[in-house]
Chains A and B, each alone.
Chain A
Amino acid sequence: MAEVNTGGGGGHGAKKGQPKKMNLRVDFTPMVDMNMLLLTFFMFCTSLSKPQIMDLVLPVKDDQIINEDEKNKVKDSKAITLLLGKDDKVYYYFGKIDNSKYQDYTSVQEADYSPDGLRAILLERNATAVNRMVELKRRKLRKEINEEEFKEQSSKIKDDPEGQVVVIKPTDESTYRNLVDVLDEMQICSIGKYAIIEMSEGDDFLLQNYLTKGVYASEREIPR
């Protein structure tokens, strides 16, 4: 292998003193072998794509009180609260908690993280924004608007005061994956206003009441 072929053809011992004819053809096969080996190594040991990041802004803890006030300003009809439960189930209710919700366990509904579950609900609730967003993306694809205009307009759509507001409340039984899935749905459904908030006593009551189909409420006092 890797020989330099010397003495080509019938040039052997033609005349003494005459320089030998050299065939300078190098066999590259081992070189290719080695390169392939290195290539395989690089392909297995490196990652071409970097992982993605999802930016998240949580409220500062002292601001929690202000946040409660802000929450009340949100139109009830435009708010949806998601309770992330165990076994990849998500429970949701619209508007804010009131007495009738406590009494009626059907005010809470159940969904899952599949496209037909949570996404379908959010898409329906946020249809106008989604449609505008799809239209915007199409225009960007046709190069009618550039990147900056796209960013500006998409943030305008997401900041729409009439837009859907989602309150995410993960229970202790939910997993990190559930949380990321829900945040992902916010992205897919073009929801600009969402917050991750801890479960309140009322939420817990509603969830328990739903899971026991109303038995929980009949046995306990309704929280204020």
Chain B
Amino acid sequence: MGKIKTKKRDTFIDMTAMSDVTVLLLTFFMLTANFIPLEPVQVITPASVMETKVPDYNVITVLIEPTGKIFLNFDRPNDKRAILEKMGARYSISFSEREIANFMEPTTFVGVSIAQMKEFLALDMEDQKSYFRQSNGVPADSANNQLATWIQTAKAVNKDLAVSIKADQSTPYPLVRAVTSTLQDIKENRFSLITTLRNMPEGF
């Protein structure tokens, strides 16, 4: 019996190239991607063919959820500090340094009436979520329109801020109108609606 000599083969695969590729992809993702912002409520925005992107900064986001609760956020931490201090002065509520720091977090939305704000800001993030669930959002009715006050205060702090409305597609129109008519009342009649992209139909 002749022995069949098999060549000893090295099964070691060189992963260096593979590693290069993954690192490259990773870098690409890290540099281009922007994190999905954490929002107190998940809204599904309607689609449109508009191709204008949301501006990178100076945005006031007005979130409207299907039941009509309104949430507000501003994008610059320094603005947020100034806005909260001004709002506090207006309603004679003084916020502690810790509460202001809590408000400056980018994920902290305004979602309660100003009277509850102090109590709300004392909570940590998990409790804030459950607090939102039982709150009624920012009041925007004609008797006590705090939405208007917030936006006016924000505009006084930074006049470049632009309002964009992000509403769920199933929101009944009267609830959206409550916000748009508030904006009209304070002469903020130029604003934008946040939508997702839909392709332009063929032939246009």
Contacts and interface: CB of A to CB of B under 8 A. Distances in A.
Contacts of B167: 176
A49 B49 contact: no
Contacts of A181: 46
Contacts of B34: 46-47, 50
A99 interface: no
Contact of B15 (A27, A53, A56, A133): A27
| Contact-size category for A | 35 or more
B52 A176 contact: no
A176 B46 contact: yes
A170 B29 contact: no
B36 A31 contact: no
B1 interface: no
Nearest to A47: B36
B170 interface: yes
Task: Count chain B CB atoms within 10 A of each CB in A43, A49, A52, A58 and give the residue with the most.
Answer: A52
Interface in B45-75: 45-55, 64
Contacts of A134: 203-204
B19 to A, nearest CB: 4
A52 B34 CA distance: 14
Contacts of B183: 58
B169 A176 contact: yes
28 contacts: A25-B12, A28-B15, A29-B15, A35-B25, A35-B26, A46-B35, A46-B36, A49-B197, A50-B54, A51-B196, A52-B48, A52-B50, A53-B52, A53-B53, A54-B52, A57-B189, A60-B189, A61-B185, A119-B201, A173-B172, A174-B172, A176-B170, A176-B172, A177-B170, A180-B169, A187-B49, A187-B50, A188-B204
